[in-house]
Structure 1
Amino acid sequence: MTEKCYLLSGLGADGTVFQYLDFEGVEVEYMEWLPPLPKETLPAYAKRMTQKITTPHPILVGLSFGGMVAMEIAKQIPVKKVILISSAKERKELPWFYRFSAKLKLQKILPYTLIKRTNGFTYWLFGATSAHEKVLLKEIFRKTPTTFLKWAINAILTWKNTEISTHILHIHGDKDRILPYKNVKDTFCITGGGHSMIVNKAHEITPLINKFLNNAND
């Protein structure tokens, strides 16, 4: 029986970002985000997302925010493996200023309309360097509903997870400015990889994923 990978994208991104990866020997399905409920926590949201999973012991692949959702799903249903790309496994891997912002509830006063407008700083922050990457990032932000963006940022800043599942592959770039590499533990480092490395470092990420998928001991 062919194993199945469920793909969870980053905040606002859709399944197109996974087109740069080449999964071998598995079936893949992109999970569309559900509209969040008012004041819904990340664990509660993840529980609703599990309703989309129909395969026993699935493999979860989470990009950025999607990786955090994957970690919460893995606490609620049996999963075979979890693959994180440019993400965090637990709250301690978030930057200190995320946690500080949550304490001050700064997410309530963020200018979300401005956040959705890409500019030179946005491109630098996400590590988008080529014209193609900038266009892709701009399109991702354009398509992200403001209500989802507000909810997701609050969910990230107030994330409480301290549990780390077994059978995890965490791939992270050492130039990530959204989730700095110095904060994450037990990862495969992609040299020069920024937060958007799934686009420009896919040729390095793909072999790591397929090796992990095909290794029965992992």
Structure 2
Amino acid sequence: MNQDIIHIYFVPGLAAGKEIFKNIRLPEERFRMHIIEWLIPNRHEPMVVYAKRMAAQVKHNNAVLVGVSFGGVVVQEMALHLDLQKVIIISSVKARKELPRRLRIARTTRAYKLIPTQLVLSSSDLTKFAVGPRSKKRLQLYQEFLHVRDKRYLDWAIKNMVCWRRRQPDKDVVHIHGNGDIIFPIKNIENCMVIDGGTHIMLLNKGSKVSEKIIEVLAT
């Protein structure tokens, strides 16, 4: 196998599957894409334990890890167990201080416990899980890719997104973010590569721009 090939492992957003990366195009002579799909967490499983299980799916040393939204949070925890070339997050956050105020309030009040995941599981519309103003309308395109319909996973993921404990960003994490993201507004984000007009679903509707940014990061 060509030793110059870079293996890139992608982790999707909350409840999403591998199809969310369908518009990411990377030169095959330089990159190999691998998609890590969500594991179902054990009951009351700590993030550190879950991240180690997810990290076991990375089979190459010096790989690149890319996470989207909640997947961006998880890859930062996975990185603690791996020998990586680079960690890239997309439409995500690097520490709890980058979360919007409404999510910080939800953490303090534990309002996230009130989300009726069992009821929503019976619905075809998993965009109800999106956290943010007008998010249902904005995330309609995302709907066909949300398919992890497991109550334990959803309850666990929502809690761990809202209650992520990391206080200081890792300066080595590369952050790609859209300036139109209403889930994680860019006003709260520090040190990122900006995609103009990019929203929280820019992976789908600006896939070529996101691909260009990933290639740019790995060329430096």
SS of match in other structure, 1:172: strand
Which residue of structure 2 aligns with residue 172 of structure 1?
177
Which residue of structure 2 aligns with residue 93 of structure 1?
98
Which residue of structure 2 aligns with residue 107 of structure 1?
112
What amino acid is the match of 1:19? K
Contact 2:182/2:199, CA 8 A, preserved across alignment = yes
Ranges in structure 1 where 5+ consecutive residues have no aligned partner: none
Ranges in structure 2 where 5+ consecutive residues have no aligned partner: none
Which residue of structure 2 aligns with residue 161 of structure 1?
166
What amino acid is the match of 1:190? I
Which residue of structure 2 aligns with residue 40 of structure 1?
45
Matched, 1:22 2:25: yes
Matched, 1:79 2:79: no
Contact 1:173/1:181, CA 8 A, preserved across alignment = yes
Q: Deviations over 1:30-86 (max 9, x none)?
A: 011111011222222111111111111220011111110111112232211011110
> CA separation in 1, counterparts of 2:87 and 2:202?
19
> CA separation in 2, counterparts of 1:70 and 1:179?
17
Q: State TM-score, norm by structure 2.
A: 0.86
What amino acid is the match of 2:79? A
Q: State TM-score, norm by structure 1.
A: 0.86
What amino acid is the match of 1:3? I
Contact 2:55/2:79, CA 8 A, preserved across alignment = no
Which among 152, 161, 174 is matched to residue 157 of structure 2?
A: 152
What amino acid is the match of 2:135? L
Would you say how many aligned residue pairs link Structure 1 and Structure 2? 210
Q: Deviations over 1:18-40 (max 9, x none)?
A: 11011221111101111101122
RMSD of the alignment, in Å?
2.4
Matched, 1:9 2:19: no
Q: Which moved more, 1:60-69 or 1:96-105?
A: 96-105
> CA separation in 2, counterparts of 1:3 and 1:47?
22
> CA separation in 2, counterparts of 1:9 and 1:120?
18
The percentage of counterpart residues that share the same residue type is 31
Contact 1:107/1:154, CA 8 A, preserved across alignment = yes
Q: Which moved more, 1:141-150 or 1:156-165?
A: 141-150
